[in-house]
Amino acid sequence: MKFLISAGPTREKIDPVRFLTNRSSGKMGYALAEAARDAGHEVVLVSGPVCLEPPPGVQTILIESAAEMAKAIKTHAEDADVVIMAAAVADYRPIMTYADKMKKKDGNLIIELERTEDILASLGKTKRSGQRLVGFAAETRDLIDYAQDKLQRKNLDWIVANDVGKAGQGFAADVNAATMISAEGVTVELPLQDKKALAARIIAILG
Ligand code: PMT
């Protein structure tokens, strides 16, 4: 099967030297790409800026912004059997990017933001028969309720809910715990473990 997997953060430019981003390290998405490759699947990985080496045997596409991620994902989603969005895509970007480095002035600064495209929701609207869409839900409270809402609203087949409010797991850590929920109502508890082991479990469930 062809797996399309996203990883890492996006960067939304304010000016040539500043951007909005988040703490995603890409470890979860890269572990999924390696696990899918090791299970014998063809893998395309779309990655935001991270400090990880592109995995051997995986077609890796490097992007920066949410708009670039949307373009790359849509290009490769057409013939993908499984799409897993593990990336932490920015929900907002600055309405305008300054051509020159902003100079500080007295008083506060307000940067107006606009919504980025919800890539998963777009894929959910055009999902072809047999294709499976897998989202992640990163929450700090009401994990399962919010995850169920994303599963339905974005027309997903599975959602991997992870609590990113707990110290030492989730964003940037080497370990993670998750609850996988399917559109059919199957729930799989995945206890705290190394992201590579967790990724292998997720791929085994999907493969
Ligand atoms: O990269 P690591 O440091 O290893 O950390 C892993 C992780 C915590 C980033 C990962 O496990 C995770 O939870 N990824 C999803 C983070 C996130 O943005 O979640 P969300 O609940 O805000 O988004 C829900 C889903 O919609 C996600 O699959 C996301 O990729 C997708 N999305 C979000 C916004 C957007 N504009 N387009 C999207 O497709």
pLDDT in tens, 187-200: 999 999 999 999 99
CA of 137 to the centre of ligand 1 (A): 6
| Ligand 1: lining residues by beta carbon, under 6 Å | 8, 24-29, 66, 85-89, 91, 116, 118-120, 135-138, 150, 162, 164, 170-172
Q: DSSP letter at 9?
A: B
Cα dihedral: 181, 185, 186, 192 (round 10) = 30
| 139 Cα nearest atom in ligand 1 | 21
Buried b / exposed e along 130-145 (16+ C-beta atoms within 10 A): ebbbbbbbbbeeebee
| 25 Cα nearest atom in ligand 1 | 3
pLDDT tens by residue, 26-52: 999 999 999 999 999 999 999 999 999
Every domain of the chain and the residues it spans: 2-206
Joined together, the tokens standing for residue 124 give 């959910």
CA distance 176 to 32: 13
| 162 Cα nearest atom in ligand 1 | 13
Cβ partners under 8 Å of residue 80, min gap 6: 2, 3, 4, 44, 131
CA of 89 to the centre of ligand 1 (A): 6
Q: DSSP letter at 26?
A: S
- Of 85, 122, 166, the residue with max ligand 1 atoms within 8 A of its CB, to mutate for a pocket test, comes to 85
Catalytic residues: 22
pLDDT tens by residue, 146-189: 999 999 999 999 999 999 999 999 999 999 999 999 999 999 99
CA of 192 to the centre of ligand 1 (A): 18
Name the CATH architecture for the domain at 2-206: 3-Layer(aba) Sandwich (3.40)
pLDDT tens by residue, 93-149: 999 999 999 999 999 999 999 999 999 999 999 999 999 999 999 999 999 999 999
Long-range contacts of 63-67 (CB under 8 A, 24+ apart): 63/10, 64/10, 64/11, 65/10, 65/11, 65/12, 65/13, 65/90, 65/93, 66/10, 66/12, 66/90, 66/93, 66/116, 66/117, 66/119, 67/93, 67/116, 67/117
